[in-house]
Structure 1
Amino acid sequence: MNPSQPTQEVKIPRILVVDDMPDNLFLMNGLFEDRYQVIQAPSGKDALKIVMSDSPPDMVLLDIMMPDMDGYEVLRRIRQHTPTANIPVIFLTALASQQDERLGMDLGAVDYLTKPVDPELVVQRVEAHVRATAHARRVEELSEKLARHLSPASWERLFYGAELEAIRFEQKQQTVLYAEAAGASNLSERDRDSFAAEVEWLATRHGGVVDRFVDGAAVIFFDEPGPCVRMAMDLQRSANELHLRMGIHTGICDIGTFRSDYEGRCTLIGIETGLAAKVAATAASGSIAVSPETYVLVRDEIQTDTSGCLLTEEFHDSDLAQICLTPTPQKGEHVLSTFAGLGL
């Protein structure tokens, strides 16, 4: 990856419009091209090829009366195929009878709109379903993650009680620090508690948020990459006995906030934590690997502030890490660490 490239953008939903009439495809493209990535299919068979591909759409706008395969049959096949069964489908058709609508809804359509279309109504309905579908997918992902960390009773209250309505998601660019200790499974309970306390203290000092719902590692996320790199340097110095491997990555994150046991909490969902972990896997013991997405944002800062590093290594053939830093171990007032003596 070229380090001069900007960080990734928010994912734009992909809408598949299926209609055998070119004028209708043109109309739908004009309505949604500024909001979504619009894909078109002139027949039911072409639509199924797209839906069953490795890059299925996030939603389908589907005509019913088409010559080769009608929309009802297209929807049946979408619902029968497990990987595509939950893709929301909206019928957009000239069939306006209650019987036709009932059949479409019984087959699993999320909405049924009739032609001639009201453009404003179509946009409103599609946007509402896009938001609802994205929220439902995030809730499901959050549920799977928290099932490993909350008690069964707390998890049940959160996802099947009144607390479900309080779950919120925010999508924004964050810089994620992933830190894991060598032989973490062999650490004593005292050392694990001391490490967790140090992470909390340094995160507060540098303006980061600790994700407490991650197994086997410390994950902290930041609005800005600079404080993240500085915290990583401080943590590596103060906990050098643990021989930490760290990875820093910047990307668009989904931040889930919720209430559990009367306490407000938050966690990251999506792929960004996993990407930071992959970056960490490229680092040597006691070092910090920085992804290209982060390095492009802090390159000048790092190049002017590496006097405290034993090693500054740049990678020119890796998509995961652009640079690897190994800070000089320091104790005392420079780091102001509460972690002194861990492992001794």
Structure 2
Amino acid sequence: MKERIDQPGWISRMLSCIFLLTCISVSANAANYVTVAVIGNRVPVPDKTQGMQKVVEQVKGFWHKKILQVLPDKPDLIVLPEYCDFPKGISRQEREEYLNVRKNQIQEFFASESKANRCYIAFGMRREMEDGNWRNSCIIVDREGNIAGIYDKKFPTVGDMEGGVKTSDKTPIIQCDFGTIGCAICFDLNFDELRRVYEQKKPDIIVFPSMYHGGLVQNTWAYSCRSFFAGAMAFREIPSEILNPQGEIVASTTNYFDYTVARINLDCRLAHLDGNWEKLTSLKAKYGSAVKITDPGRLGSVLISSEDKNIPVEQMIKEFEIELLDDYFDRSRRYRLEPGNME
């Protein structure tokens, strides 16, 4: 007697296999381009005469218009500033009234925007916990409007803590469909202990909702963490910028435009020039325009990016036995400790 085939089950298993193979194929592809937008601005002084619900609606209207500016570039990720829904010109008491009315409305608004536009949105806001305490948070919603992850500020200012914000001891790495994200919020940037966590975890992108810029510290974070860095400032006067893993600015807002967009390639690695000169020359000779080698000068390291649709940068590096930056530094540390090298 012939075995009866369960057709619905068989079809389901086949579709699962096809989906899995597709995922594996995509993950193996190189040239992992991601379009990132940062918007640096703040909600202007609202009309408070009609109550705080009206203020909530003004906040939604403001950010809806700002997000519209970057949509022509079809961003994968939009980064907004710290406390992005707090308008200018409201007192502490008015802010408490606003929070009591706002509840989850702004979070739900950004979720609807991300779903409507098929992108991730990272935004800073004061978030109430179940126990009634507050956090200064960066919330990331995904393309379906679901929460992809939340980072709670690890190092709030003394003023923020005096105002009721509690600190966090967690440093999550948030998984997105294009790669991984780490977060830092404003004052966090001053603390090496947080940066060192990201040095170990090496997220693809560090998002930085903030009230202050940080100057050269941004460059240090990007380079030491081997990550792209996307900062959104709450003031037009301060540039909101996107940096590459060498700490170079690749896009910035200006005095005319409060937003900027960059298409970045996450399939990249850093390598030192020592011992790699001939290998890099051979790599470029073979792959030509399919590989990009970026030298900022004065740094001694270069950024290698695969522009090929099918060959990831790791495969190129392995093929030519190129020693990566961190591997070279680790080898130097070990060699320093060998007998005869230290007095």
TM over 0.5: no
Q: Choose between structure 1 and 2: higher helix proportion.
A: 1
Structure of greater Rg: 1
| Normalised-by-shorter TM-score class | under 0.3
TM-score by length of 2: 0.27
TM-score by length of 1: 0.27
